[in-house]
Amino acid sequence: MAKIQMKTPLVEMDGDEMTRVIWQMLKDKLILPFVDLKSEYYDLGLEKRNATDDQITVDSAEATKKYGVAVKCATITPNAARMDEYKLKEMWKSPNGTIRAILDGTVFRQPILVKGITPYIPTWTKPICIARHAYGDVYKNTEMIVKEGSKAELCVTDKDGNESRQLIHSFDNSDGIIQGMHNLDNSIASFARACFNYALDQKKDVWFATKDTISKKYDHTFKDIFAEIFENEYKAKFDEAGIEYFYTLIDDAVARVVRSDGGYIWACKNYDGDVMSDMIATAFGSLAMMTSVLVSPTGVYEYEAAHGTVQRHYYKHLKGEETSTNSVATIFAWSGALRKRGELDEIPELVDFADKLEKATIDTIESGIMTGDLYLLSTLENKKKVNTEEFLDAIHDKLTEIVA
Ligand code: NAP
Ligand code: MG
């Protein structure tokens, strides 16, 4: 069978530990036999990042800007233990943080559903996709402990030196605490555009919620910027695509999400997204079934799994012990990236291959062949636990049948 030809290269970002092991196996078994892969390879493994003073991460993000589509393996974010383990020159920053900052992107996370694994909320029959605003608010705050008898004020000095002040609180009868935080109109606007663009790409509704009734300036600004950008730039396109933008209060949104059947993009402020994405991941079953895509306001896409490098399994693997690590989210990162490349370059066979790769993966699990994490959750009667490599082999066999 002739392999599918590509036009523009895919930016390929390799990573660390167990996911690095899976990366190579996955390419060998599920991609290279079917696609004449054109990729620009960047090794974001921690050793290479250390050797290049992390320049490799910056280069990979710049290449993503240039070509428009990337697929990324999970990477180690160094901490004190990793400094010793890898003899690092510096505690390099999270590659995801660096890439997100360069692309000014928003992260969308979505679970992959399979028969036999019922979400904790069984009415959620379609995935809920969470978009988290990844700038500001409590994550870039300033906090102080305040002593009784103090008066706390907000003070802003404008560019001409004029001060405006507002009382936060007079701490007359008690010690207390204060917190200052901010956001930027530009960042909120980028977030809104990324959400609306991705909704058009996915043909899904967008829900957005804040506490604007209580926070009449701060949260209300989020609501206003979303509304203005939607009206001016997206309303007509949404009408044409048959999708909707829906705004409500955050507490109402939570109630509606619980009662819903899923299938929409839920845009969240930074803190809401932090909390709700963990809630959604847990409710749908397994972190190993969560996909993640970073979308820039200019329409650049970087696909990855939401989980980390699965360090515990890697140490077992190094000792020669058998592992049963789930590669589904990493497979869907590849299928997502290949599909997007196929759409942009008008290669229908590549789009079709991405669909078939996902189908082969889901069919394999629904036929009862799965890794240990899913084996614990699945209610299928004929389920069978396989190891890391056997799982990929089973998908390879299924895929070979489907593409034939
Ligand atoms: P993790 O890699 O997500 O794994 C945590 C646990 O979740 C695993 O020990 C395993 O549970 C389960 N798990 C996660 N993915 C799985 C999979 N594909 N198949 C089966 N089980 C899976 O998180 P971590 O161990 O806390 O972090 C390891 C490294 O990943 C850290 O250095 C961190 O910096 C990095 N990280 C990177 C990213 C990224 O690049 N996007 C994201 C998060 C973390 P059991 O052990 O119970 O089987
Ligand atoms: Mg969280």
Average pLDDT for the chain: 95
Asked if residue 75 has its Cβ within 6 Å of ligand 1, the reply is yes
Residue burial 201-218, b: 16+ Cβ < 10 Å; e: rest: bbebbbbbbbbbeeeeeb
Asked if residue 328 has its Cβ within 6 Å of ligand 1, the reply is no
What is the dihedral angle through the alpha carbons of 180, 185, 190, 196, rounded to the nearest 10 degrees?
100
pLDDT on residue 139: 84
Q: Helix, strand or coil for residue 73? A: coil
* pLDDT by 10s per residue, the chain, length 404: 789 999 999 999 999 999 999 999 999 999 999 999 999 999 999 999 999 999 999 999 999 999 999 999 999 999 999 999 999 999 999 999 899 889 888 999 999 999 999 899 999 999 999 999 988 898 888 999 999 999 999 999 999 999 999 999 999 999 999 999 999 999 999 999 999 999 999 999 999 999 999 999 999 999 999 999 999 999 999 999 999 999 999 999 999 999 999 999 999 999 999 889 888 988 988 889 999 999 988 889 999 999 999 999 999 999 999 999 999 999 999 999 999 999 999 999 999 999 999 999 999 999 999 999 999 999 999 999 999 999 999 999 999 999 98
Instruction: Tell me the C-alpha distance between 138 and 317, whole Å.
Output: 39
User: Is 312 labelled as part of a ligand binding site?
Assistant: no
pLDDT in tens, 179-236: 999 999 999 999 999 999 999 999 999 999 999 999 999 999 999 999 999 999 999 9
Which residue's structure tokens are 């970087």? Answer: 302
Among protein residues, the one with the nearest Cα to ligand 1's atom 31 is 76
Predicted TM-score of the model (pTM): 0.91
Two tokens, residue 107: 């992260």
Instruction: Tell me the C-alpha distance between 342 and 345, whole Å.
Output: 5
Asked if residue 307 has its Cβ within 6 Å of ligand 1, the reply is yes
Asked if residue 335 has its Cβ within 6 Å of ligand 1, the reply is no
Residue 379 backbone class (left: φ over 0; alpha: ψ -120 to 50; beta: rest): alpha
pLDDT on residue 298: 85
Among protein residues, the one with the nearest Cα to ligand 1's atom 22 is 288
Kindly list the structural domains of the chain, giving each domain's residue range(s) and its CATH number in brackets, ordered by start. Answer: 1-111+300-404 (3.40.718.10), 118-140+182-284 (3.40.718.10), 142-180 (no CATH)
Integer CA distances (angstroms), 347 to 7, 102, 212, 299, 332, in order: 8, 28, 45, 19, 19
pLDDT in tens, 143-155: 999 999 999 999 9
User: Is 77 labelled as part of a ligand binding site?
Assistant: yes
User: Is 369 labelled as part of a ligand binding site?
Assistant: no
Burial class of residue 27 in the structure, from the number of CB atoms within 10 Å of its CB (0-12 exposed, 13-18 middle, 19+ buried) = middle
309 CA to centre of ligand 1 in angstroms = 5
Quote the DSSP letter at residue 108.
E
Give the torsion sign (CA, 121, 123, 125, 127).
Answer: negative
Q: Helix, strand or coil for residue 154? A: strand
